Chains A and B, each alone.
Chain A
Amino acid sequence: MSDHIVSAFTEELERLSADILRMGGIVEEMIVDSCRAVLHNDLELAADVIERDPQVDRMEAEVERQIVSLIARRQPMAHDLRSVFAALKVSGELERIGDLSKNIGKRALNLDAAVFPAMRSGVARMAGPVSRQLHQVLNAYASGNAAEAKAVWETDDEIDQHYNALFREMLTYMIEDPRSISDGAHMLFMAKNLERIGDHCTNIAEFVFFQITGENLVQQDRPKL
């Protein structure tokens, strides 16, 4: 899209989307690292993920500040208005993803070192598709690709299926050996967190799609597997 007559307006919108993408990058790493910490019982990495969360919170606050100022001074319209709206909503979703990843890190610190390796790898297996969802939707945001955003939105059911499978798997371990219940409970929450992250990615996909097209995905039918 061509530039605004007021070039500072273009720069402000570009800065906004750059900040969203930087925030998204940090959060994406938090998902991967928190699950890697679970897989390898890497307590240092888990603590590191926890420490990154306040930075994400600060970035969200900064994005909000920019947006309030931009609305007050520029009164954005049409695509600009949708961009600002999407940035506000996406930053909120990313902040939540950061919180959920931090929570996985916290739980990683509380796991028994001798927990079944299979339980650890179950959670780690789910991290791949979830972080890929986020990666893909951020790509769609960066490139303005509505089809890619819609693709993320359509595949959320796969994450849900992962979660359901993992849930049953954990129950099996806990039934086999009641001593694993404490760890199993933590693992179930981790899996639930990852499933929630998938939902947040779906929400982001909706906002990105709206920003690009001006249309609502929510009103369309999502394929159920």
Chain B
Amino acid sequence: MDDTLGNGTTMEKGVLPDAPETSVRMSCRNINVFYGEKQAIYDVSLQIADRSVTALIGPSGCGKSTFLRCLNRMNDTIEGCRVEGEIMMEGKDINSPVIDPVLLRSRVGMVFQKPNPFPKSIYENIAYGPRIHGLAQGREDMDEIVEKSLRRAGLWEEVKDRLNLAGTSLSGGQQQRLCIARAIAVRPEVILMDEPCSALDPIATARIEELIDDLRKRYCIIIVTHSMQQAARVSQRTAFFHLGALVEVGDTDQIFTSPRDRRTEDYITGRFG
């Protein structure tokens, strides 16, 4: 199972080196982000550990989603958005011109707030990415990728008999797991999640959280969440953002029992005005 989802691809055009096994998966240094004249992120440096969940928390507008979007260059798509600083992954700056953003985004997948399956069958939702990246040799190979991805996303048993049904026919929680399966299908190393449970009921949320806990054995996961309890439940590291700055980062246990910064304390105890 591991060999097919191993590090066979690279985000760099035309080169296929082995991905080094490191405990730090992404290393961000002095990140500044501007929307036109307005600065949204101020000098953020953050190391992101592999095979663990890092939660980004903070009040609305604190820059956590903007920062998350830097990690797979989603901000490229926003008119007037400028990102400064260095984001190293496997020894390369992901903002360097040699990096193909489309390949980068297959290595650094993303799951959004609202489940957004393609208006196609469940099968095609998963198969689309591997097909355009040339990851499957034939129909049998593709079937295997689809099944493996759905299994890993904890959705296989629920949909295996109706793979030709539209992805949009599933419940909200199932759709979100479908989107996670879709992200997994292109063999990413990092999965970004931007409030993946905010549109889901508590049961569907619990299933996603269970899934996140399972996925972290294999992937580096970074999750933006408004629920402090969720950050406390699913993450091993927590970073608190405020007014575009990274205020505090540490082990989740420490952040939620003994935060060092007063602003973190005020935020997580519900004291922010």
Known: A77-B228, A78-B265, A79-B265. A5 touches B270 (CB 8 A): yes
B273 at the interface (CB under 8 A from A): yes
Contact A4 B258 (CB under 8 A): no
Task: State A78–B265 Cα separation when bound (angstroms).
Answer: 6
Residues from chain A with a CB closer than 8 A to the CB of B270 are 4-6, 9, 77
A12-29 residues at the B interface, CB under 8 angstroms: none
Task: Among A76, A213, A214, A215, point to the contact of B269 (Cβ < 8 A).
Answer: A76
Task: State A81–B256 Cα separation when bound (angstroms).
Answer: 9
Chain B residues within 8 Å of chain A by Cβ, number: 16
Task: State A80–B264 Cα separation when bound (angstroms).
Answer: 13
A2 at the interface (CB under 8 A from B): yes
Chain A residues within 8 Å of chain B by Cβ, number: 18
Contact B258 A78 (CB under 8 A): yes
Task: Among B232, B269, B272, B273, point to the contact of A80 (Cβ < 8 A).
Answer: B269
Contact B269 A77 (CB under 8 A): yes
Contact B268 A78 (CB under 8 A): yes
Task: State A166–B44 Cα separation when bound (angstroms).
Answer: 63
Task: State A81–B266 Cα separation when bound (angstroms).
Answer: 13
- Please give me the residue from chain B that is nearest to A83 by CB atom: B269
Tell me whether chain B's interface is mostly helix, strand or loop, or mixed. helix
Task: State A71–B266 Cα separation when bound (angstroms).
Answer: 18
Contact B229 A75 (CB under 8 A): yes
Tell me whether chain A's interface is mostly helix, strand or loop, or mixed. loop
A1 at the interface (CB under 8 A from B): yes
- Please give me the residue from chain B that is nearest to A5 by CB atom: B270
B187-244 residues at the A interface, CB under 8 angstroms: 228-229, 232
A120 at the interface (CB under 8 A from B): no
A3 at the interface (CB under 8 A from B): yes
Contact B271 A81 (CB under 8 A): no
Contact B258 A5 (CB under 8 A): no
Contact B271 A215 (CB under 8 A): no
Contact A78 B257 (CB under 8 A): yes
B259 at the interface (CB under 8 A from A): yes
Residues from chain A with a CB closer than 8 A to the CB of B258 are 78, 82, 213-215
Task: State A82–B256 Cα separation when bound (angstroms).
Answer: 10
Residues from chain B with a CB closer than 8 A to the CB of A5 are 270-273
B226, chain A: closest CB distance, angstroms: 14
Task: Among B228, B229, B264, B266, point to the contact of A2 (Cβ < 8 A).
Answer: B266
Task: Among B229, B269, B272, point to the contact of A78 (Cβ < 8 A).
Answer: B269
Residues from chain B with a CB closer than 8 A to the CB of A77 are 228, 232, 256-257, 268-270
A63, chain B: closest CB distance, angstroms: 21
Residues from chain B with a CB closer than 8 A to the CB of A81 are 256-257
Residues from chain B with a CB closer than 8 A to the CB of A76 are 269
Task: State A156–B229 Cα separation when bound (angstroms).
Answer: 39
Task: State A221–B268 Cα separation when bound (angstroms).
Answer: 32
Contact A1 B271 (CB under 8 A): yes
Task: State A3–B273 Cα separation when bound (angstroms).
Answer: 10
Contact A78 B273 (CB under 8 A): no
- Please give me the residue from chain B that is nearest to A74 by CB atom: B270
Task: State A1–B272 Cα separation when bound (angstroms).
Answer: 11
A17, chain B: closest CB distance, angstroms: 15
Task: State A75–B231 Cα separation when bound (angstroms).
Answer: 13
Residues from chain A with a CB closer than 8 A to the CB of B271 are 1-5
Task: State A117–B257 Cα separation when bound (angstroms).
Answer: 52
B189, chain A: closest CB distance, angstroms: 31
Task: State A200–B265 Cα separation when bound (angstroms).
Answer: 30
A65-94 residues at the B interface, CB under 8 angstroms: 75-82
Contact B229 A79 (CB under 8 A): no
Residues of A in contact with B (beta carbons under 8 Å apart) = 1-6, 9, 75-82, 213-215
Additional A-B contact list (16), CB under 8 Å, known A77-B270, A78-B265: A1-B271, A2-B271, A2-B273, A4-B269, A4-B270, A5-B270, A6-B270, A75-B229, A78-B258, A78-B259, A78-B264, A79-B265, A79-B269, A81-B257, A213-B258, A215-B258
